[in-house]
Amino acid sequence: MKILVTGSSGQIGSYVCENLMRGHEVVGFDIRDQPYDGLKKLSVKGDIREPENVRAALKGVEAVVHCAAQVSVVKSTQDPLYDASANVLGTVNMLNESVNAGVSKFIYISSAAVFGNPKYIPIDESHPTNPMSNYGVSKLSGEKYAFAFAKNNRMQICSVRPFNCYSSRSDPDSPYSGVITKFFSRLRLGQPPLIEGDGRQTRDFIHSRDVAYMTELLVTKRWTSGDAFNCGTGISTSILELANAAIIASGKSVKPEFTAPRVGDIRESLANTSKSAGVIGFRAKIKLADGLKEMFG
């Protein structure tokens, strides 16, 4: 099968390419240069918002994994027009051109940010969607367009909602990096992890390679068009537990330090993964301790 992966230079997209290229013909599509040597030969530069760029990349493609996005919550507030342009208009263009090209399957990589502040834990796919950020709104809008396309076209479409992704491919120099990357950036300097608040906030941390694994299953398995799937481990980890695990992985002799809580921070987040397990047989493979050890290696 020939598969187009958008956002192929990114944290999730690059792992998706590596997984799929073992058994399929893969084309990577990204506005940025491909940083990973093993993926350069399959990469094409282009903008998901430009119909001609997308049309050229889709020639002969049977399935699309749409990872490309503006992924920063902070940047979505600073520049909401760019956020909407990339995440909404870019997604609509990808959907439209994929339908026109006769693509059979379209897998949209969304985000758990679509849920907002949880009404209950664990969060299942039927949980109300009430995003708290422009980023969450733009990802939910992309989902809504995807599901509308699913109702009106023969192309099979589903959405994947990753929870808190991490990997060694997250950008340590980005001011928008996740908590794990921030902890390790300090630990590499011999500084203790800095916890915002009391550290009892909980998250569901999933390695980006596991997100890619779920995507691989969706490419090959059967599912109902217009469906959404949570992508998490189903394991709750407090930020304090995470900080201590990061310290162990780093081998440093330090203790976490605490600072003021972040305004608007969600207290708990945990994925209900029973649907993805039941429909496509997905279960996360990478334990947090192993993923952290790999990141610090």
The domain segmentation of the chain, as residue ranges, is 2-164+207-232+271-284
Q: What is the DSSP string of 230-287?
A: EES-S--EEHHHHHHHHHHHHT-----EEEPPPTT--SB--B--HHHHHHH-------
Q: At residue 94, what is the residue type?
A: M
CA distances to 33, 110, 208 from 167, rounded to whole Å, are 20, 18, 6
d(CA 191, CA 185): 9
Q: Please name the residue that has the structure tokens 């699309």.
A: 64
Structure tokens at 88: 């909404």
Q: What is the DSSP string of 37-78?
A: GGGGGGEEE--TT-HHHHHHHTTT--EEEE------HHHHHH
Structure tokens at 16: 């998706």
d(CA 181, CA 172): 6
d(CA 166, CA 239): 14
Helix (H, G, I), strand (E, B) or coil at 28: strand
d(CA 141, CA 210): 25
pLDDT in tens, the chain (297 residues): 999 999 999 999 999 999 999 999 999 999 999 999 999 999 999 999 999 999 999 999 999 999 999 998 889 999 999 999 999 999 999 999 999 999 999 999 999 999 999 999 999 999 999 999 999 999 999 999 999 999 999 999 999 999 999 999 987 666 556 899 999 999 999 999 999 999 999 999 999 999 999 999 999 999 999 999 999 999 999 999 999 999 999 999 999 999 999 888 899 999 999 999 999 999 999 999 999 999 987
Helix (H, G, I), strand (E, B) or coil at 107: strand
Q: Pairing state of beta strands 237-238 and 202-203?
A: antiparallel
Class of residue 262 by CB neighbours under 10 A (exposed 0-12, middle 13-18, buried 19+) = exposed
**Catalytic member of 15, 108, 135, 166:** 135
Residues 8 and 34 sit within 8 Å (Cβ to Cβ): yes
Q: Pairing state of beta strands 105-109 and 164-166?
A: unpaired
Residues 261 and 199 sit within 8 Å (Cβ to Cβ): no
Q: Write out the CATH class of domain 2-164+207-232+271-284.
A: alpha beta
Instruction: Let me know if 120 is a catalytic residue.
Output: no
Helix (H, G, I), strand (E, B) or coil at 142: helix
Enter the pTM of the model.
0.96
